[in-house]
Structure 1
């Protein structure tokens, strides 16, 4: 598998607080990885560094062979790195379909067929005419994921995509992400705290602690790891954390 994203020995300080401390992470073309770790460990900082919202103090950030350091966020987005934030960034007064139409403007594949594909992927085809603001919380999250996918990312960054969801919405989001990964084929990097979601997603998991990646493996491997248990406050297993 060809390496798509390569983060190597990245450092980032905020007034003496080391948010990235020799941070290294690689992600292959089309690979999916879930990133876990305690609050304040640097997960969101990693996303900000990769997207250009923050500039690294030192180290290397490369995407498909391109040096990301020094590039502006819009330049990085044009390379195919796109991010979905925790809070849905939709147009609540516009119908669901028009939200996607706005996202498709300027793309090479505007049109009804592509619009219908995105509606189907987001499980919102039967709600295409409803105002986006009337959707349930989980559905708003799915709509924004579809809006990001409209731009055909090579790397999709998902920041706590199940935040605030019901158990049923979380289960549906697992199915949606697995489906889009299989159908779209882009690489996906997910930050998540819901360990039931992480388990069900069924992809490799990386543990971040104090600004660096300390463990990487399957859910089962990390579940049995003493450091992971320590980081999650001595919980007997990850699902109870």
Structure 2
């Protein structure tokens, strides 16, 4: 069963189609990577999934229900969580307080769940540090902790390894493998090593359209993908 589905999803800005007629199915329990060159429409597509960008045409369905007109906060309530390409933590609050906000949103046990979420992303020893004082990479990890604290059915991660050290990327890969047991994951990522190590299947966008879809092995061997993306140096 598809947890997330789009049909004919389109976004036009004036005469420019950033996303054009995309049909997309994400089964529950899968880790799906979304890749493509810069300007392929990935961020716009994800914005429509999350409710931050209104589609020009088409539909988004989540857990069998049409959510095309639901605002972003309602989609979160329905079981979506997402991190942004640009971090959106509360800089003047501590790491603990940032994650506590996510836990309290669903009326969870902050005293127990906040330390656990921070520990999962490797920030257990930074609970009292102000989020604004963290490095960019650690802010990314904090945002992931906030997403996990919501206990979502679908976790959307937009460029999560940007700014992470190699050792932290290894930890992130292990985390995704662990999270897949409790949530479906949609990963928008330029680091192809991370994509190949974590994804069950990959969807490739190019010029706002689906160019290819398949297993990591199939995508790596696809000549169209090589020409449009993997061979360009953007990976």
TM-score, scaled relative to structure 2: 0.91
1:76-111 deviation per Cα after TM superposition (whole angstroms, max 9, x unaligned): 222112210022222333332222222222423223
TM-score, scaled relative to structure 1: 0.89
Equivalent in the alignment of 1:7: 6
Equivalent pairs counted in the alignment come to 235
1:211-234 deviation per Cα after TM superposition (whole angstroms, max 9, x unaligned): 122211121211111001110274
Give the Cα–Cα distance (whole angstroms) in 2 for the partners of residues 233 and 192 of structure 1.
13
1:121-150 deviation per Cα after TM superposition (whole angstroms, max 9, x unaligned): 122222223333333332221111111222
Q: 1:198 aligned to 2:159? A: no
Cα distance, 1:67 vs structure 2:
0.9
Give the Cα–Cα distance (whole angstroms) in 2 for the partners of residues 51 and 119 of structure 1.
24
Equivalent in the alignment of 1:145: 144
5+ residue gaps in structure 2? none
Q: For residue 180 of structure 2, give the secondary structure of its aligned residue in structure 1.
A: helix
5+ residue gaps in structure 1? none
Equivalent in the alignment of 1:109: 108
Cα distance, 1:188 vs structure 2:
1.0
Give the Cα–Cα distance (whole angstroms) in 2 for the partners of residues 223 and 216 of structure 1.
11
Asked if 1 retains the 8 angstrom alpha-carbon contact of 2:89 and 2:139, the reply is yes
Provide the alpha-carbon RMSD of the alignment. Answer: 2.0
Q: 1:174 to 1:191 in 2, by over 3 A?
A: same
Q: 1:35 aligned to 2:34? A: yes
